[in-house]
Amino acid sequence: MGLVNAVRDMRTIKQLLTRAEAEARSAGEQTPGPEHLLLAATALPEGTATRALQRIGVDPQQLRTAIEEAHERALAAVGIEVERGDAGEGALRSPAAGAFRSTPQAQQVFREAVALSKSTRPSVLKGAHVVAAATGLEHGTAARALVALGVDRSRLREAACAEAGIG
Amino acid sequence: MAVVDAQPLPGPEDPEAALAAVVALRRMAGRLESAAVVEAISQGWTWAQVGEALGISAQAAHKKFASEVRARRGR
């Protein structure tokens, strides 16, 4: 990898992880999971994650809503009805402290995204790599949100790979 | 938030729903915990009292929530 790409990669990784952390904290959660990584990927300025989702008819805002609704439905199953409060209600307002931490599943998605990025030329990490990696998840909030949106994971993976320029 | 009625918990035959409920409940508990600790401290509770109520040490309570209390106070 050339120096320019290496620096670009570092910048992307920093943006991605910082945003994932912010997404988690704004949802009142200490530790980012794959769903926060996905939302963070759609916020990257290069736009490949958003375009990958749009290829299969999903808007990032729909994904965000689907994630929230996945939690609401899960609570409804145990008899708890949650009224959707104002955006930001329940958010952690303190900045994240210490080294970056995420769930093992988010770590796995990130590692796989980086591995996928190595298979493209130039090998720079893009949001679409994160989306492609996240389609490997069968369980958990991100997977359930995608199911609720009617997303076929293999179709999303194809769309993400196309956006990322993978074979 | 309201408990509408005592619905049966998702049974073990549906682990997907049961585990999703656990995740959502943890998330809700975390939000409630932060909000309640911030409120307790603003009402003059000590960290020892907060820790006692939560079943953790005063030091652990302070470590986990002090920055959140500061951040919300600043609003």
Q: Is B67 in Cβ contact with A71 (below 8 Å)?
A: no
Q: Is residue A97 part of a domain?
A: no
B11 has a pLDDT exceeding 80: no
The pLDDT of residue A25: 96
What 3 state SS string does B11-61 have? CCCCHHHHHHHHHHHHHHHHHHHHHHHHHHHHCCCCHHHHHHHHCCCHHHH
Q: Is B1 in Cβ contact with A93 (below 8 Å)?
A: no
The pLDDT of residue B13: 78
What is the model's pTM? Answer: 0.91
Answer for the pair A33, A141: CB distance below 8 angstroms, yes or no. yes
A88 in reach of chain B (CB within 8 A): no
Q: How confident is the model at residue B25 (pLDDT cuts 50, 70, 90)?
A: very high
Q: Is residue A21 part of a domain?
A: yes
Distance to chain A for B40, nearest Cα, Å: 16
Q: Is residue B34 part of a domain?
A: no
C-alpha dihedral, B48 to B52 to B57 to B63, nearest 10°? -60
Q: Is residue A16 part of a domain?
A: yes
Per-residue pLDDT in tens (0 to 9) along chain A, 167 residues: 578 888 889 999 999 999 999 999 999 999 999 999 999 999 999 999 999 999 999 999 999 999 999 999 999 999 999 877 766 678 999 988 888 999 999 999 999 999 999 988 888 999 999 999 999 999 999 999 999 999 999 999 999 999 999 86
Q: Is residue B18 part of a domain?
A: no
Percent with pLDDT over 90 in chain B: 77
Q: Is residue B57 part of a domain?
A: yes
Q: How far is Cα A165 from Cα A134, in angstroms, rounded to an integer?
A: 17
The pLDDT of residue A104: 98
Q: Is residue A154 part of a domain?
A: yes
Q: Is residue B28 part of a domain?
A: no
Total domains in chain A come to 1
The pLDDT of residue B8: 64
- Cβ partners under 8 Å of residue A11, min gap 6: none
CATH code assigned at A152: 1.10.1780.10
The pLDDT of residue A97: 85
The pLDDT of residue B5: 54
The pLDDT of residue B75: 56
The pLDDT of residue A87: 63
B25 in reach of chain A (CB within 8 A): yes
Q: Is residue A111 part of a domain?
A: yes
Q: Is residue A149 part of a domain?
A: yes
Answer for the pair A25, A92: CB distance below 8 angstroms, yes or no. yes
Q: Is residue A43 part of a domain?
A: yes
Q: Is residue A90 part of a domain?
A: no
Range of the domain at B57: 46-75
Residues of chain B positioned with their CB less than 8 A from the CB of A72: 24
Q: How confident is the model at residue B1 (pLDDT cuts 50, 70, 90)?
A: low
CB pairs under 8 A between A and B: 77
Range of the domain at A122: 3-84+105-164
A75 in reach of chain B (CB within 8 A): yes
